[in-house]
Amino acid sequence: MQLQDVITRNPETISPDDSIRHATKIMRDCQIGFLPVTDDERVLGVVTDRDIVIRAIASGFDPQTTCVRHVMTKDPVQLQATDPIEKALEIMARWAIARVIVTDSDGRIVGVLTSGDAATACKGDDRAGQLTAAIHRRANKTQPVPMPPPNAQFVSE
């Protein structure tokens, strides 16, 4: 089975120059916690609700003026739509990641493989459980706090 058979197609995306407030509105309205950061359909990074809370809000960055590029994770894992699901499952479990960007042969985003998509594709076999366990182990580790972006504006506490 290829990734193109199981992915979530046409995911919501955001520009690196959009504000993190705009990102949170998209996440709220679409009930998602993850946005690929794109420029002309090319993926530059990803931003999650956790990235926004930990890297921006907790550090006092102003959500109105702080750009997504300052809190996004750069160079996310990307696989091609024609790659087998087994390759994605192995990478997701090894790196304990819940989502993988899926691109076409020209490197343009076509979808996202989520851990939910993977579980559905596995139809309950133990690979889905192994992936979930790896993701939960990673969630218990702390993430580094980034340096403020140049010209950062802060919200007073």
Give Rg (Cα) of the chain: 16
Q: How confident is the model at residue 156 (pLDDT cuts 50, 70, 90)?
A: very low
Burial of 13 (0-12, 13-18, 19+ CB in 10 A): middle
133 or 48, which is more confident: 48
Calpha distance 127→98 (Å, rounded): 13
pLDDT of residue 139: 53
pLDDT digit string, tens, across residues 75-106: 899 999 999 988 998 888 888 888 999 999 99
Residue-wise burial string across 88-127, b where 16 or more C-beta atoms lie within 10 A, e elsewhere: bbeebbeebbbbbbbbeeeeebbbbbbbebbbebbeeeeb
**Per-residue pLDDT, 138:** 56
**pTM, two decimal places:** 0.79
* Position 37, amino acid: V
CA distance from start to end of the chain: 51
Residue 35 corresponds to which tokens in the numbers above?
């946005």
Q: Which residue has the tokens 């996310």?
A: 76
Q: What is the DSSP letter of 61?
A: B
Asked whether residue 40 carries a pLDDT value surpassing 50, the answer given is yes
Q: How do residues 103-131 score in pLDDT, each as one tens digit?
A: 999 989 999 999 888 888 777 666 666 65
Q: What is the pLDDT of residue 151?
A: 59
